[in-house]
């Protein structure tokens, strides 16, 4: 039985050996037919920046006789900005009278005085409960600008909610071309 197995193995091995021989003989022909390629490589690393503005406070509650409220808006990204978009929403009892203006200043507010240069951003109130505005008073990365929500009229308790948005590429610094 053992002998028979060896014979079978020999019978199997013979065609395999023939096939292997053919592969060996044909391989140089195939290699000869293939064409050579030349390659050159180079590497370059790159990092993208981030763009974001974060308000220290986003919700402001006003009642009759309330004064202005301030908040800092910090550039929490790594890129300089051209502008920041703001959306303010005023919510209060239906039919109530309330209106506010939002102003931006480069330096902290001193009461109603902005000493660093500023501008009005938007106006929001009962007649216009949601308003958007864009301010070009923007901080450099890591620094802040200062918003003031100044009541014009507060007939009923009203909450003003503020949201910041930085839209690329419009609000991000002007594009730069680097040659190196």
Residue numbers at the binding site for another protein (CB under 8 A)? 35-55, 58, 74, 76-79, 163-169, 172-180
Query: CB neighbours (10 Å) of residue 91?
Result: 13
User: Residue 64 or residue 163: which is nearer to another protein going by CB?
Assistant: 163
Tell me the closest approach of the beta carbon of residue 72 to another protein, in angstroms: 12
User: Residue 86 or residue 99: which is nearer to another protein going by CB?
Assistant: 86
| CA–CA distances in Å: residue 94 to residues 91, 104, 153 | 9, 29, 15
Tell me the closest approach of the beta carbon of residue 73 to another protein, in angstroms: 9
Q: What is the 3-state secondary structure (H, E, C) of 63-122?
A: CCCCCCEEEEEEECCCCCECCEEEEEEEECCCCCCEEEEEEEECCCCECCECCCCEEEEE
Tell me the closest approach of the beta carbon of residue 56 to another protein, in angstroms: 10
User: Residue 49 or residue 93: which is nearer to another protein going by CB?
Assistant: 49
Tell me the closest approach of the beta carbon of residue 48 to another protein, in angstroms: 5
């Amino acid at each position: 039985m053992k002998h028979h197995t060896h014979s079978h193995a020999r019978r199997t091995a013979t065609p395999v050996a023939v096939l292997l021989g053919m592969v060996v003989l044909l391989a140089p022909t195939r290699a000869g037919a293939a064409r050579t390629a030349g390659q050159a490589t180079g590497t370059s690393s790159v990092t993208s920046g981030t763009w974001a503005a974060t308000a220290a406070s986003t919700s402001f509650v006003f009642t009759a006789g309330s004064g202005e409220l301030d908040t800092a808006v910090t550039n929490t990204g790594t890129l300089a900005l051209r502008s920041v978009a703001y959306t303010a929403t005023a919510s209060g009892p239906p039919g109530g009278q309330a209106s506010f203006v939002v102003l931006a200043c480069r330096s902290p507010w001193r009461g109603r005085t902005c000493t660093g240069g500023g501008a009005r951003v938007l106006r929001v109130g009962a007649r216009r409960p949601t308003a958007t505005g864009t301010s070009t008073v923007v901080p450099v990365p890591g620094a802040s600008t200062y918003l003031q929500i100044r009541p014009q009229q507060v007939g009923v308790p009203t909450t003003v909610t503020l949201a910041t948005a930085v839209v690329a590429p419009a609000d991000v610094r002007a594009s730069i071309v680097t040659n190196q």
